[in-house]
Amino acid sequence: MSAPAPTLPLEQIDTDSQNSSATSTELSGTGLIVARGLTASVIGASVILFIIAAVYGLANPLESSILPASAAEPLARVGLSIPALTIMMNVVDIVTTAVFVGVALVIFATRSSDGATLLAAAMLTTWGMSTGNLLAGAAGLGVGITVGVLLVGMIGSITFLWFMYTAPTGKIAPSWTRYLLWFWVLGWTALVLYDYASGGYITGEMTVLSVLAQAAMYTISIFVIRWRVYNILTPTQLQQFKWVVLGLTFALIGFMVRFIPPLTVPALSDTSTLLGLGFVSISYTFMRICLTFVPIMIGFSLMRYRLWDVDFMINRSLVYGGVGVFLIVGAIIEIAGVIWFTNLVLGQGQALIAVALAGAFWGATFNPLRKWMQRTIDKNLYGIDLDYQRARQVSPLSGPQVMGQKFGPYEVLEPIGRGGMAEVYKGYHATLNRLVAIKVLAPNLVSNADFRLRFEREAQMVAALRHPHVVQVFDFGDMEDTYYMVMEYIAGPTLSSYIKTHGRLSLDEGLPILRQIASALDYAHQQGLVHRDVKPSNVMLQPVTTVDEDGIDKRAILTDFGIAKIRGGHTGLTQTGMMGTLDYIAPEQIQSSKTVDARADIYALGVMAFQMLTGELPFKGDNPGALLISHLQHPAPDPRAIVPELPRPIARAILQALEKSPDKRFATAEDFAEALVVAELRVVA
């Protein structure tokens, strides 16, 4: 094990910095009144225009439709008409735009004194409306409506760019980006006018010039925004911005599904055919649904809601986005190939056959491709080297199969628990009149040589340990392919069950337990062992008959060294199953369980201390992937946010034990325990 860094003084750890809010652009006085007035005017005028367009579109679907007259014949074959399909698409626009407006009104009502929030509210309203067909379909109502539609599109484009260059702080930084921003604002305004003049704004089809110009603008902006993210934003602001990026990623996926396939298969954009109409209506609906993630994610960002959940959302978005791209490309190639082949052989394209085969392609490859994509992204982007998708099958307690049997002089009495790979029974040695605990390797693991070797190695390692807070091993053997070890019987609950029963522990009760476990860990570390599975369920609490001068009435005993690592040793064992319990696993253990050292146990002890003194885990989640990402990237929350009366020095010590970098943690487990004791003494003094 490499030498850890010296223990940091408690004063050097600022627990408040991890929970600091992002810089805001608070307004006051005349500036606030003007900003609120402008934002309210933009939102109000846009909503009124949209209501007019919605009423007109629903009442006059044929006049407001952007579908060509040639679409009537294929629609009639499936019992539809141009007005019916137009109404359906208008309803999609109304519902999805309502999400934009709803989020905009919520953030405007709750944080209307913040300039960044006001900009976001105006952007969400205008940009959300301008991305649909409903406003464009009503542009023929007159010059006033036409100008209004044009203005909404221009304001939406301008505020969108402005928001992206200033989110989430609302401030332009570095200062030189203001010139680039103004260049893009003027350029995008020109593009909107050009698209409108060429008719693309009304039909919803972007011109080639518009596509190329926007591609260049987005590409350059990505590099600028990336530089800003890595050089300007604080950790909290970065999490806010991640929510924004995630929403835009969903929107991008929607735009790709809507506009890219027709470039490869032109038949998909031919609205005079049933295939083209089906693709346009379905892809448009999908695009609009994807767009609704933008206001939702921006709302999360500005309201600072669940900031640290965004990394898991990004992980899953990358997985399903990657799977979607693979399957869409595969389906497009398959459709094009079938149409080409049937044209060659039969003289006509069999579009329905091609679509049916594409559906079969999706169904057959989705799940295996998703698993492969998940594993690839986890390993290469997040450094997760655990196959947490593979569920470990744990057999139930053997019960009658073992009860009543004798392992040498030990009689098996009754089941009392189960560990990660073994079952535990109460046993009795008649000659010595001693109760013992008999640990039996689970029957479903006996055939696995790795587990048998690991079980035997645990018995050998723990039998060599002599410490008052480490469980004692008396014997080991196997009888008719039943592998067992005999340990001291501890008449007491696990720390896990004790916490569930009593709730969070007081400092007077919790710190002595932590000191005892820290002592056991340091002793094991000195013997060259790293436990790798420190958790409350592996700590037994044995009541003592005589309370000592410090008032300690229970003895904490560390158990279950089943996945302990011999430092510097080479056992030849492979990594089978999960190395450690996810609630308490150290970041480096997630990335490479074979190379961890004693500091991984200190991290787990820090998680346990957090849970003991607050009653809650620092990182929680039903999904194992989300939990692993939390351990890897999310700073531990301040324990005082849960228990305000917890002394600040105690919280600082716990947070140091929970540092992501092993070098920033305590040098030894007892250093951590000593810091807690010293912190308590300072509070008492």
Alpha-carbon separation of residue 518 from 205, 524, 585, 671 (angstroms): 67, 10, 17, 9
566 CB neighbour count, 10 Å cutoff:
14
Pairing of strands 554-558, 473-479: unpaired
SS3 assignment for 303-318: CCCCHHHHHHHHHHHH
Inter-axis angle of helices 648-657 and 598-614, nearest 10:
140
Domain boundaries defined on the chain:
26-305, 399-488, 495-684
Pairwise CA distance, residues 532 & 579, whole Å: 7
CA-to-CA distance for 258 and 325, rounded, in angstroms? 13
CA distance 377 to 387: 12
DSSP 8-class letter at 131: T
Tokens (6 digits) for 237:
């602001």
Which stretches of the chain score pLDDT less than 70?
1-24, 139-140, 192, 195-196, 198-211, 331-332, 334-336, 338-355, 357-359, 361, 389-401, 419-420, 547-551, 562-580, 681-685
DSSP 540-583: EEEE-SS--TT---EEEEE---TT-EETT--------S-SS-GG
Alpha-helical (H) ranges within 168-207 are 177-198, 200-203
What whole-number distance in Å separates Cα of residue 7 and Cα of residue 11?
Answer: 12
146 exposure class (CB count in 10 Å sphere: 0-12, 13-18, 19+):
middle
**Angle of helix 351-381 versus helix 310-346 axis, rounded to 10:** 150
Query: pLDDT, tens digit, for every residue of 178-209?
Result: 888 888 888 777 776 776 676 555 444 555 66
- Contact between residue 412 and residue 466 where contact means Cβ atoms under 8 Å apart: no
CATH class name, domain 399-488: alpha beta
Class in CATH terms, 495-684: mainly alpha
Burial of 102 by CB count in 10 Å (0-12 exposed, 13-18 middle, 19+ buried)? middle
Could you tell me the two tokens for 516?
């005892």
183 by DSSP, 3-state: which? helix
Q: Backbone phi, then psi, for 439, in 5-degree steps? A: -100, 125
Helix (H) or strand (E) run with residue 416 in it: strand 410-418
Helix H or strand E encompassing 413: strand 410-418
In this predicted model, what pLDDT tens digit does every residue of 29-38 receive, in sequence order?
888 899 899 9
Domain 26-305 falls under CATH 1.20.1070: yes
Sign of dihedral through CA atoms 342, 345, 348, 353? negative
